Structure 1
Amino acid sequence: MGFQSMEIEGDAHMIIRRLIDAQTDRSIIGTYIIDGKQVVACFGAFRFRFCSKNINLVAHQQATKGFDFNEIGWRSYEKSPRLRQETIASGLWFL
C-alpha cells in the first residue's frame, strides 16, 4: 500500500504523552512505548493525538467488547446499515 504517514488516536492520555515524549520511558510499559516509537519511525510523517472515548465511539465499542466479533452487539452493528449510518452521521467516529 505504501503508506507515507500515520495518525494514531487513542483515549489513553498517559500512553499518548509517553509516545510523544523524546525521553526513554523506564516504566513497566516502557518496552511497548519503545516498540511504538520504532514502528512510527518507519513513516515519513506521523502524529499522535488524544481523543476521548466519546469522540471515537466505534473504536471504543470494539475495545470494550475486546474485539469479540461473535457477540450480539457486533453482529447487530455489522448487519444494521442504519445503525452504522447514524453513528457516522453523528460525527462520533474515527476508525
Structure 2
Amino acid sequence: MAETENATKEKLDFSTLEERLAELNAMAFMRAERECRMAADPAPDITYSSAFRAKLAAEAMGVPQAEITTLPINEYASVVSRVLNFLLKPLAETVIQQEN
C-alpha cells in the first residue's frame, strides 16, 4: 500500500498550483478556515497556518488533504509556502505601488 501511496504522490503535478488556487472562491477559503478552527488550530491569523494552506492546496489540486499532508517534508513546505505567497501577493503588490 505504501508503494501505491508513493506512486500517487509522485504523480501530483504542482506546476499549475497558483492557477488552480486562482480558480477557488471565498467559500473555499472560509470552508478551510472553519475546518481549521474546528480542529483548534491556534494560528491567530489563519493565513499563516500550514494546515490551512494544505487544505487550500488540496482543494485546488482536487485531492484529499492527506495527499498534501503526507508529502515528503521538503515538498510539503514548498507547497504550503507557494500557497502563502499566492495569498499575500496582492497585498505585497499594493504596498509596493503605494511606496513608489
TM-score by structure 2 length?
A: 0.22
Structure index of larger Rg: 1
TM-score by structure 1 length?
A: 0.22
